[in-house]
Structure 1
Amino acid sequence: MLKMDRRIRKSQEAIKMAVIELMIEKNFDQITIQDISDRADVSRRTIYLHYMDKFDLLDKLIEEHIDEMREICDSIDDDAEYIDMGLLWFEYFESHYLFFSVMLASKGGSFFRNRFLEFFLQELKKKENDMPEGSNQGLTDGEDVDIQFLGAAIVGVVEWWFKNGKPHSPSFMAQRVGLLLERNLEADFSLA
């Protein structure tokens, strides 16, 4: 049984890598199940055993990364600084460079970008809800705008980082993004 699990896992990894590699070469809409099958060196039947179609494959691949990032965020103490969260984010992005660079640069990446943004919006809302009572009073009117702005800013910075070939280290990026988030949130609180 264990041997079967290993083979299944190996096939799934080959299929996921194949779709990512193919997205470097062409638009997702142009990729066929046969292309994925050929690149992964598995049968079409094997792909259909695991995924309904190429859209299901892409959806599950994206969800896998979002879930892993959520687990990373959940493992951080509630009182952790944004810099600490940012470091874990950017280290994860760097360790999965191929996936994120392809997803953020591809024409079909708008679906991923929306999911990516939603992840950051949820994390920022959770972080804000964990703030000490009274520190965010009066922000309810503009809270959604603030969270949307900050989430979009994070996604934009990550896109910039990948499109420019990661010009700074993950620790530098975490430091800058963390400081910007803290400054923005402190400014919001002082307006309250």
Structure 2
Amino acid sequence: MQRTRRTLRDALVALILERGWEQVSVQDVCDRADVGRSTFYTHFADKEELLLSGFDEFRKVLRAQHAAAAEAGRPLGFARALLEHAHENLRLFRALIGKRSGQLVQRRFRELVLELVATDLAGLALAGPVLDGTVHYVGGAFLELLTWWLDSRSPLPPVEVEALFQRLTTPVLAAAR
């Protein structure tokens, strides 16, 4: 069962890299994975659910790395882990997060980033609308920086992009308190 799910996810990723999210159908995924449509629908309702299953695994990995960064006292520690993962999977991230991706993908990735930021900022003495506004501001800034980095093909390595994010974000967090 896990093997079939992984095979379907790998097929989807390969097709997204070749064609872009919008140009991939369930039938394309089934053909690439060499499985029948009924097998696909046994596991997933549609290609969106298939894609989101990958986000769930990605979220678990980021949470583990985020916890390690928090223990080391690095604020917004999710950033480095996410940037390094993006760097290791540049083509996929450009296809999913860049300007050519589907809105569903961008929305779900945005939700993931906001969740990570909210977890990180939970320890600050912020509450209610100030906390919510700060989470959205910082999350939006990170997403814009990530998108710029991916789309511009900037030569900056992940650690330097993370340092830039930290440098720009630190005054925002200080002002929000």
- Above 0.5 in TM-score? yes
RMSD, aligned CA = 2.7
Gaps of 5+ in 2: none
- Match of residue 96 from structure 2: 103
Q: State the shift of 1:163 in Å.
A: 1.2
Q: Please state if 1:182 is matched with 2:175.
A: no
Q: State the shift of 1:91 in Å.
A: 1.3
Question: Would the aligned equivalents of 2:16 and 2:92 in 1 still touch at CA under 8 Å?
Answer: no
Q: State the shift of 1:158 in Å.
A: 0.9
Normalising by structure 2, report the TM-score: 0.80
Q: Please state if 1:47 is matched with 2:40.
A: yes
Question: Would the aligned equivalents of 1:83 and 1:175 in 2 still touch at CA under 8 Å?
Answer: no
User: Which whole-Å CA distance do the structure 2 matches of 1:100 and 1:58 have between them?
Assistant: 13
Q: Decide which of 51, 55, 61 is 1:58's aligned counterpart.
A: 51
- Match of residue 139 from structure 2: 151
Q: State the shift of 1:141 in Å.
A: 5.1
- Match of residue 5 from structure 1: none
- Match of residue 4 from structure 1: none
Q: State the shift of 1:147 in Å.
A: 2.0
Q: Decide which of 87, 93, 118 is 2:80's aligned counterpart.
A: 87
Q: State the shift of 1:13 in Å.
A: 2.6
User: Which whole-Å CA distance do the structure 2 matches of 1:103 and 1:91 have between them?
Assistant: 16
CA distances 1:153-175 after superposition (whole Å, capped 9, x unpaired) = 10111111111225211111111
User: Which whole-Å CA distance do the structure 2 matches of 1:159 and 1:35 have between them?
Assistant: 27
User: Which whole-Å CA distance do the structure 1 matches of 2:25 and 2:166 have between them?
Assistant: 41
Q: Which has the higher contact order (CA 8 A, sep 6+)?
A: 1
User: Which whole-Å CA distance do the structure 2 matches of 1:83 and 1:149 have between them?
Assistant: 13
User: Which whole-Å CA distance do the structure 2 matches of 1:123 and 1:49 have between them?
Assistant: 31
C-alpha distance 85-54 of structure 1, shift in aligned 2 (>3 A): closer
- Match of residue 69 from structure 2: 76
Helix, strand or coil at the partner of 2:64 = helix
C-alpha distance 87-107 of structure 1, shift in aligned 2 (>3 A): closer
Question: Would the aligned equivalents of 1:18 and 1:39 in 2 still touch at CA under 8 Å?
Answer: yes
User: Which whole-Å CA distance do the structure 1 matches of 2:129 and 2:49 have between them?
Assistant: 38
Bigger radius of gyration, 1 or 2?
Answer: 1
- Match of residue 3 from structure 1: none
Gaps of 5+ in 1: 1-7
